[in-house]
Amino acid sequence: MEQPCLDELEKLVSRMDTPRVVVDNGVCSTATVVKVDSARRHGILLEAVQVFTDLNLSIKKAYISSDGRWFMDVFHVTDQNGNKLRDESIIGCIEQSLANIHYMKTSDYSGLTALELTGTDRVGLLSEVFAVLVGLDCDVVEAKVWTHNGRIASLIYVKDCNSGSSIQDTQKIDRIEARLRQVLKGDNDIRSAKTVVSMAVTHTERRLHQMMFADRDYEWKPILALGNDTPIVSVQNWVERGYSVVNVQCEDRTKLLFDVVCTLTDMDYVVFHATINTAEDGASMEFCIKHIDGSPISSEPERQRVIKCLQAAV
């Protein structure tokens, strides 16, 4: 039997590894349908959803299947006004980003220093933080803050006012960490305040999820009762298939799917199947998940932890 030439083998490998993306505006009257086929690996669903999130698009429906070694997703997406996508530049960006999902780069913050802050939220905290940075000759380029259950997580990107680039002076970095830690502690947060100066480039919202999760914000007592707005999360085991089935019922909002998938990914769960539907009265999501090692949720404490973490993410 004649062996295929090297060029043909390389083409075959490239075709297998490169996601296949189809953007269709004709199959659905209310949304643009995006189909993605790719080799499966941990975290690829989150990266696909991140593409839509970063383009400020809404995912109205999604069907996800990744049994075996293949990842097949169908997303129904709209713009922020609920319209189908007509801008060819946006469609082209979706196609290019998803096709290169295996080589995705995080947000470009090169030349900046990232400050990661977690602690107890209080009135005036950010004003004190920025005052400290100004006093230490730091120019704030971008900042994002999340608060939940009385906790705060913030990523602040700064540069040195004198050099105009990232902060290289280790003594200055030590001073920044020490001063910000004092501000975060205040009078009653000696144990949990944390500051980290990082040169790493990361996706901001993904990192904020990780910071909140590490801070265990889901275990802190809510400041206000959520009442009827509390998301309904249930977790059951599908014994015959070896899955844990997670159901989430909540109000729909921008970036909802990203927040839920990010939480499951950071908790080291793999989504094998999922169905997402949104309507005016809310969102309904079902995920069939397993641990990375292939096992389902195995204990009641673990089940309760998943419920609390997803409620916090929503």
| Domains of the chain, start order | 19-103 (3.30.70.260), 113-219 (3.30.70.260), 231-313 (3.30.70.260)
Query: Would you state the pLDDT for residue 218?
Result: 83
Q: Which pLDDT band, with edges at 50, 70 and 90, does 71 fall under? A: confident
Q: Does residue 17 surpass a pLDDT of 60?
A: no
Query: Would you state the pLDDT for residue 196?
Result: 84
Query: Would you state the pLDDT for residue 304?
Result: 94
8 Å CB contact between 55 and 91: no
Write out pLDDT tens, residues 26-38: 999 999 999 999 8
What percent of the chain is predicted at pLDDT more than 90? 57
Instruction: Tell me the average pLDDT across 7-12.
Output: 51
Q: Does residue 126 surpass a pLDDT of 50?
A: yes
Residue environment code for 139-148, b if the CB has 16+ CB neighbours within 10 A, otherwise e: eeeebeebeb
Q: Does residue 12 surpass a pLDDT of 50?
A: no
DSSP three-state, residue 96: helix
Query: Would you state the pLDDT for residue 226?
Result: 47
What percent of the chain is predicted at pLDDT more than 70? 86
Weakest mean pLDDT among 62-66, 71-75, 164-168, 215-219: 215-219
8 Å CB contact between 235 and 245: yes
Q: Is 171 exposed, middle or buried (0-12, 13-18, 19+ CB in 10 A)?
A: exposed
Write out pLDDT tens, residues 146-161: 998 888 999 999 999 9
